[in-house]
Structure 1
Amino acid sequence: MRALVLTDFHQLDLVEVERPEPGPGEALLQICATGICGSDFHGFTGENGRRVPGQIMGHESSGTIAALGEGVDPATLPLGAPATFNPVVVPPEQAEEFRGREQHAPGKQVIGVAQDRAASFADYVVVPARNVLLLDPAMPLPLGALIEPLAVAVHAVGLARPLPEERALVAGGGPIGQSAVLALQRAGLTAIAVSEPDPQRRELISSLGVTALDPADGPLPKQLDAALGGPADLAVDAVGVTPTLADALAATRLGARIVLVGMGSPRLELSAFAVSTEERTIHGSFTYTAQDFADATAWIGEHAEQAAALVSRIIGPEEAHEAFTALAAGRGPAGKILVRFDHDETDPATAETSTTVPAETEEARA
């Protein structure tokens, strides 16, 4: 089978490797599409220290069930059925203790991050059968690759405890910020604004039916007041750098909830008084629970057309090195790039010319 191997930092090669076979309790998925995550191209450069040469990356995927290992019920996971997988793998012995907070399990592995495990930038991937989720057969199969970043956003938005009548700010209009918009809409909110400096990303955000603001146009609190009629009740920082966190603090009301899901910088400065004396809460968010992932899977099945707006380019695996190189240099499309393994041609309906995007607005999640 074909696989994209990180042969060295800044070098991704399409090579032939042996197709894996599922063991007991495992399933083999034939990959349709895998999305390029910010953590993937930061791993490509060696920046995040979580990927190593020789690794097959990839964790945002959709495909079909190709084979089942011993002990897996084909009535539950039928051969040929469209499916995705939750990349957060909890050891069976920790499953009950960490049910509902699987991302906290100390023994967890993340497929695509775990260095000793081949992942889904390949024609096939083996995953635990318990981590496989079936997709709505009526949904375009490549869109299943959007479920993982949406699950990140569903979890982050859930931590903010949103109410439908509240105003929300999203700092950053990259793939996680875009997913946060969908997650907020899923929660019933309509008064949503996104702060994003890149004009093409603002255009994509506007197509989702929310307000896109340019931080260069003036103080964000004034822009938010004009757009939504007042400060935000909650904010999602989908970038995770000092300026975006400062915006989230400045543009929210006293007592607001702020969720930090972007990982743009390992260290941040913040106004302590804007947290303590104005009683704002900052909540960290990373990955998701198994229920968050299941909820994201169900939502995309019912809102495929809305989610499709997040895909800017579909490429073949032979184009992946060039795409990773451009993304690592801060050049990329407004939305998500999917690497499609079930055909060799770029989809002309969704391909577009890349545009420059500031590197700090790319989120690194897994």
Structure 2
Amino acid sequence: MRAIQLTAPGTLELVDVPTPKPGPGEILLATAAVGACHSDLHILDAPAGVFPTPMTIGHEIAGRVAQLGPGVTGWAEGDTAAVYGIIGCGRCRACLRGLENQCRTVPVGGVGISRDGGLADHVVVPADRLLPLGGLDPVQAAPLTDAGLTPYHAISLSRDALRPGTHAVVIGVGGLGHMAVQILAVTTAVTIIAVDTSDAALRLAKRMGAHHTVQAGPAAVDQIRELTGPAPDGADVVLDFVCVDATLDTARQVVSTGGHLTMVGLGGGTLRIAATVEGPPPVPMETTAVIPFWGTRAELTEVIALGRQGLLRAEVQTFPLTEAVQAYQQLRDGKIHGRAVLVP
């Protein structure tokens, strides 16, 4: 079968490999759609030894059951399913509570991360990683498993603060950010302010339900403050899907006292938090700062339910598997609006 593999640090190749066989408790899935995520670029750019090679990448997966491994029940060949990509240890306190995204033994492990992923004609996954699609288009379902789940989880962490009459700021309207705007629009009654450098991204945010859009730059803080009010008021929730120094600086200046500042992006920026009596603190008092990771299986079932009801829909650009390397280059160059989806 065909597969897009990380064959060495910085190198993706389309290769031919044997079709894998499902072992006990596993299912062979015929891949129908795989989302291309910025996290895949971090895997590609990582130094030798951080991720296994050769490894088939791709962790946003939807497909059809092709073969059941020994002992698998509850599934039949032809069933459509989405893959919950995290694989925790299953034994630690977090995993036993259903919080596999907080696994204490395997910090970052899963399909397309520590074992072969979905950018291939077939992929083997543990049966308990699959969730039924219920008629949802696999091209729509695949991005929901991360680009939908991650912002849903991030928003869930601040659910108590997202009350009618409050403000939520979404910084970065890309693959995850445009989903966050929709999730806020359909599950809360807050005023949504979207921030991005791209006019096209801001237009997308408007289509997805943002009430206001702000061009990122020197004037952004003042424009957001005009909408949310001066300090100590401000945005009750700020979701930064970029997390470079510039966006984090904007986030800390617009979050309210007692607000929530959620750092979702992997841009490598630094947020300084300090308690001081010499001038205002860099982050307002009583502010909660959190770095969420992916989400839980229970949350993914809710995300898929929103998708089935037509309330959550990814803006997708589709590519054949043979153009995967080009798709990732477009993602790196900022030319993808919404989510790139590979369709084997």
* Alignment TM-score > 0.5, same fold: yes
Task: State the distance in 2 between where 1:49 and 1:163 align.
Answer: 45
Task: State the distance in 2 between where 1:48 and 1:42 align.
Answer: 12
Corresponding residue for residue 326 of structure 1? 330
Q: Please, which moves more after superposition, 157-166 or 86-95?
A: 86-95
What secondary structure does 2:251 align onto? helix
Corresponding residue for residue 297 of structure 1? 304
Q: Are 1:287 and 2:294 matched, yes or no?
A: yes
Corresponding residue for residue 132 of structure 1? 130
Please give the residue correspondences for 1:209-220 in structure 2 after superposition, counting only pairs within 5 Å: 209-210=209-210, 211-216=212-217, 218-220=219-221
- Match 1:145 to one of 129, 142, 155: 142
Corresponding residue for residue 356 of structure 1? none
Identity of aligned residues (%): 28
- Assess if the C-alpha contact under 8 Å between 2:9 and 2:48 holds in 1: no
Task: Say what the alpha-carbon RMSD is for the aligned residues.
Answer: 2.4
- Assess if the C-alpha contact under 8 Å between 1:258 and 1:283 holds in 2: yes
Task: State the distance in 2 between where 1:47 and 1:193 align.
Answer: 37
Corresponding residue for residue 205 of structure 1? 205
User: Offset of 1:6 from its aligned partner?
Assistant: 1.9
- Match 1:246 to one of 243, 249, 262: 249
Q: Are 1:3 and 2:7 matched, yes or no?
A: no
Counterpart residue type for residue 260 of structure 2: R
Task: State the distance in 1 between where 2:270 and 2:252 align.
Answer: 17
Please give the residue correspondences for 1:259-274 in structure 2 after superposition, counting only pairs within 5 Å: 259-265=262-268, 267-269=270-272, 273-274=280-281
User: Offset of 1:179 from its aligned partner?
Assistant: 2.0
- Assess if the C-alpha contact under 8 Å between 1:256 and 1:279 holds in 2: yes
Please give the residue correspondences for 1:23-34 in structure 2 after superposition, counting only pairs within 5 Å: 23-34=23-34
User: Offset of 1:166 from its aligned partner?
Assistant: 2.0
Unpaired segments ≥5 residues, structure 2? none
- Assess if the C-alpha contact under 8 Å between 1:249 and 1:274 holds in 2: no
Unpaired segments ≥5 residues, structure 1? 342-366
Corresponding residue for residue 79 of structure 1? 77
Corresponding residue for residue 45 of structure 1? 45
Task: State the distance in 2 between where 1:253 and 1:266 align.
Answer: 21
- Count of residue pairs brought into register by the alignment: 331
What secondary structure does 1:127 align onto? strand
What secondary structure does 2:78 align onto? coil
- Match 1:103 to one of 101, 111, 119: 101
Task: State the distance in 2 between where 1:47 and 1:57 align.
Answer: 16
- Assess if the C-alpha contact under 8 Å between 2:245 and 2:269 holds in 1: no
Residues 320 and 241 (structure 1), Cα distance of their counterparts in 2 relative to 1, 3 Å cut: same
Please give the residue correspondences for 1:111-130 in structure 2 after superposition, counting only pairs within 5 Å: 111-114=111-114, 117-130=115-128
- Match 2:155 to one of 154, 157, 162: 157
Corresponding residue for residue 313 of structure 2? 307
Task: State the distance in 1 between where 2:152 and 2:40 align.
Answer: 21
Task: State the distance in 1 between where 2:93 and 2:236 align.
Answer: 35
Residues 81 and 277 (structure 1), Cα distance of their counterparts in 2 relative to 1, 3 Å cut: closer
User: Offset of 1:185 from its aligned partner?
Assistant: 2.3
- Assess if the C-alpha contact under 8 Å between 1:191 and 1:228 holds in 2: no
User: Offset of 1:61 from its aligned partner?
Assistant: 1.1
Residues 275 and 289 (structure 1), Cα distance of their counterparts in 2 relative to 1, 3 Å cut: farther
Task: State the distance in 2 between where 1:208 and 1:64 align.
Answer: 29
**Deviations, residues 41-85 of structure 1 (Å, cap 9, x unaligned):** 232233697435411111001111111111111xx2232111111
Please give the residue correspondences for 1:328-347 in structure 2 after superposition, counting only pairs within 5 Å: 328=332, 330-341=333-344
- Assess if the C-alpha contact under 8 Å between 2:94 and 2:104 holds in 1: no
**Deviations, residues 121-173 of structure 1 (Å, cap 9, x unaligned):** 11111111111000021x22211111122111111111112224321001111
What secondary structure does 1:24 align onto? coil
Q: Are 1:258 and 2:264 matched, yes or no?
A: no
Corresponding residue for residue 223 of structure 1? 223
- Assess if the C-alpha contact under 8 Å between 2:57 and 2:117 holds in 1: yes
Q: Please, which moves more after superposition, 230-239 or 265-274?
A: 265-274
Corresponding residue for residue 56 of structure 1? 56
Task: State the distance in 2 between where 1:57 and 1:185 align.
Answer: 32
What secondary structure does 1:216 align onto? coil
TM-score, normalised with respect to structure 1: 0.83
- Assess if the C-alpha contact under 8 Å between 2:194 and 2:213 holds in 1: yes
